[in-house]
């Protein structure tokens, strides 16, 4: 798939996800009816109106590979985006990364207050599991599997654990294996879940599920490498958030350890590996392959 066609597909999916997501975060949603207005507003501030919506895109593309409709994948994508966005809201808090700006907007604790940001994050995380449990187009057994897997990948053994390791890295520099472990948990776990969950919700056989998971792990690795590279090379206006922060805090990244040339070569290698994994699916896997390439070589 040509990059421009992929960009259009990604933006199209992001627009559709925005609609699904805005509904999931409205007072009209049965999981939220009666919620306080200000808390809902903070949740929406942290979750709507921005982001590439890459994770829901991967869920949808992975589900499509096994014949499931986009509408069936949408609640899982929305759940994943709830969790991604909650993690940003909490990571931005003064006690964590202390960021004022996210996607070019004030962070939730800046636009509201710190306590509200903590609660909005909590409520987004809590909502995610309800969205999956109520995704009635998905078989009950698959939904339960998705809830359990999401709990693992977002929790102490996954994303939250990775963030804890990242905080420890501010106190003592990590060596390369420790950096890789931290990143596999902090960023990789949810991206791997995105790719795997499409196969699960579509009822794909175990071998396909495992292959999509591995694909997701590689894409997650590429995502983080590209992110670290952008942190070194891009400017804040393009990214809509502060840059060069890792170096300023003495946090080691793989680009910092090995240099930008190594990083670009490693990204090529990872994309080739991801594409090879999906070779047996032929043209049907074009969207996922293009996604891997986009993740590795994006400029934002």
Judged by the rule CB under 8 A, the positions of this chain that interact with a second copy are 30-36, 38-40, 43, 86, 90, 93, 95-96, 113-116, 118-119, 121-123, 125-134, 140-141, 143-145, 147-148, 150-152, 154-157, 160-161, 163-165, 167-168, 185
Query: From the CB of 186, what's the least distance to a second copy, in Å?
Result: 11
Smallest Cα–Cα separation from 206: which of 196, 218, 216? 196
Query: From the CB of 213, what's the least distance to a second copy, in Å?
Result: 15
Smallest Cα–Cα separation from 65: which of 286, 298, 300? 286
Smallest Cα–Cα separation from 145: which of 198, 189, 184? 198
Question: H or E stretch including 157?
Answer: none
Measured from the CB atom, is 61 or 124 closer to a second copy? 124
Measured from the CB atom, is 87 or 263 closer to a second copy? 87
Measured from the CB atom, is 155 or 240 closer to a second copy? 155
CA 154 – CA 168 distance, rounded (Å): 18
Measured from the CB atom, is 13 or 189 closer to a second copy? 189
DSSP 101: E
Q: What angle do CA 82, 29, 111 make, to 5 degrees?
A: 50
Measured from the CB atom, is 125 or 225 closer to a second copy? 125
Measured from the CB atom, is 30 or 177 closer to a second copy? 30
Enter the tokens of residue 76.
């899982």
Query: From the CB of 96, what's the least distance to a second copy, in Å?
Result: 5
Cβ proximity of 70 and 63 under 8 Å: yes
SS3 for 105?
strand
Query: From the CB of 30, what's the least distance to a second copy, in Å?
Result: 7
Query: From the CB of 70, what's the least distance to a second copy, in Å?
Result: 22
- CB atoms under 10 Å from CB of 269, counted, come to 13
Query: From the CB of 88, what's the least distance to a second copy, in Å?
Result: 12
């Amino acid at each position: 798939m040509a990059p421009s066609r992929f960009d259009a597909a990604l933006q199209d999916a992001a627009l559709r996800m925005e609609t699904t997501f805005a509904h999931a975060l409205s007072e009209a949603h049965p999981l939220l009816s009666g919620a306080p207005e200000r808390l809902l507003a903070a949740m929406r501030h942290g979750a709507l109106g921005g982001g590439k919506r890459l994770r829901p895109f991967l869920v949808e593309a992975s589900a499509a590979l096994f014949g499931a409709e986009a509408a069936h994948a949408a609640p899982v994508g929305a759940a994943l985006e709830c969790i991604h966005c909650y993690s940003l809201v909490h990571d931005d808090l003064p006690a964590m990364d202390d960021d004022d700006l996210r996607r070019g907007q004030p962070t939730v604790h800046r636009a509201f207050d710190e306590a509200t940001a903590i609660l909005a994050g909590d409520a987004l995380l809590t909502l995610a599991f309800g969205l999956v449990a109520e995704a009635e187009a998905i078989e009950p057994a698959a939904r339960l599997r998705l809830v359990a897997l999401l709990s693992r990948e977002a929790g102490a053994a996954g994303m939250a654990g990775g963030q804890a390791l990242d905080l420890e890295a501010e106190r003592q520099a990590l060596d390369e294996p420790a950096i890789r472990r931290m990143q596999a948990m902090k960023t990789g776990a949810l991206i791997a879940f995105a790719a795997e969950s499409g196969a699960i919700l579509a009822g794909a056989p175990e071998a396909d599920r495992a292959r999509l998971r591995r694909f997701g792990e590689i894409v997650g690795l590429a995502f983080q490498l590209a992110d670290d590279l952008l942190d070194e090379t891009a400017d804040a206006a393009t990214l809509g958030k502060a840059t060069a922060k890792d170096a300023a805090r003495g946090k080691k990244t793989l680009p910092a350890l090995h240099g930008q040339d190594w990083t670009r070569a490693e990204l090529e290698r990872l994309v080739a590996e991801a594409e090879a994994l999906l070779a047996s699916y032929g043209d049907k896997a074009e969207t996922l392959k293009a996604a891997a390439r986009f993740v590795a070589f994006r400029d934002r």
